[in-house]
């Protein structure tokens, strides 16, 4: 087992500086995902405190809409940035593929009777590891971001339903409104 770990670490070391960029992207992506998930759960638990003096449906609607927009503003600002970070991961992996192939071709161009196989394998290794790392980061992050978007939309829909119910109650309680 220690030999396997040592070989994995050696392979990762061969992937170069792009793997550090991918690691930084992964930390940023998953920090944003966990933050947004926590924030959306917090928003779902928050109750909207309405001004009890509001009696018209338009006033109630404006107050609920204002509360909804202020709470979802954070999510609406951060989700596009999250998608930018997620899209950067496979592109950085692709850049690592190009850099690895350049290393491979450079080692093939060395004028000797036999090209140094360790340089060739290092270039191929860098190409494969960075591509794989970019995809390993991006695929679960895309799924998590889609789940966050769905959770955000469900929360907005539930607030819209609550707004509708409150407006209907206000209409019933107005003079001349239906008592049923």
Q: How confident is the model at residue 1 (pLDDT cuts 50, 70, 90)?
A: low
Cα–Cα dist 152/44, whole Å: 9
DSSP string, 64-126: HHHHHHHHHHHHHHHHHHHHHHHHHHHHHHHHHHHHHHHHHHHHHTS-SSS--HHHHHHHHHH
Q: Residue 94: what pLDDT?
A: 92
| Rounded average pLDDT over 12-36 | 87
Contact between 124 and 12 under an 8 Å Cβ cutoff? The reply is no
> How far from the centroid of its chain's Cα atoms is residue 153's Cα?
15
Q: What is the CA radius of gyration of the chain?
A: 27
Cα–Cα dist 82/152, whole Å: 14
Q: Residue 143: what pLDDT?
A: 97
Q: Which of 52-61, 133-142, 155-164 has the lowest mean pLDDT?
A: 52-61
* Maximum distance among all Cα pairs of the chain, rounded to whole angstroms: 99
**Is the confidence at residue 134, as pLDDT, over 70?**
yes
32 token code pair: 């944003």
Taking the CB of residue 18, how many other CB atoms lie within 10 A of it? 22
**Is the confidence at residue 55, as pLDDT, over 60?**
yes
97 token code pair: 């593929």
Selection from 6-20, 22-36, 55-69 with the highest mean pLDDT: 22-36
């Amino acid at each position: 087992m220690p030999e396997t770990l040592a070989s994995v670490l050696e392979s990762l070391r061969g992937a170069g500086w792009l793997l550090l960029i991918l690691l930084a992207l992964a930390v940023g992506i998953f920090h944003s995902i966990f933050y947004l998930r926590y924030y959306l759960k917090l928003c779902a638990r928050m109750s909207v405190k309405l001004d009890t003096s509001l009696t018209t449906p338009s006033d109630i609607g404006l107050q609920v809409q204002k509360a909804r927009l202020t709470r979802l503003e954070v999510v609406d600002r951060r989700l596009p940035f999250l998608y930018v970070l997620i899209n950067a991961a496979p592109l950085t992996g692709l850049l690592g593929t190009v850099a690895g192939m350049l290393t491979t071709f450079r080692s093939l161009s060395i004028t000797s009777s036999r090209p140094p196989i360790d340089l060739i394998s290092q270039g191929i290794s860098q190409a494969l590891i960075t591509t794989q790392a970019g995809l390993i980061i991006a695929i679960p992050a895309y799924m998590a971001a889609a789940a966050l978007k769905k959770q955000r939309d469900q929360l907005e829909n539930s607030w819209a339903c609550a707004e509708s119910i409150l407006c209907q109650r206000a209409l019933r309680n107005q003079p001349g409104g239906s008592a049923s």
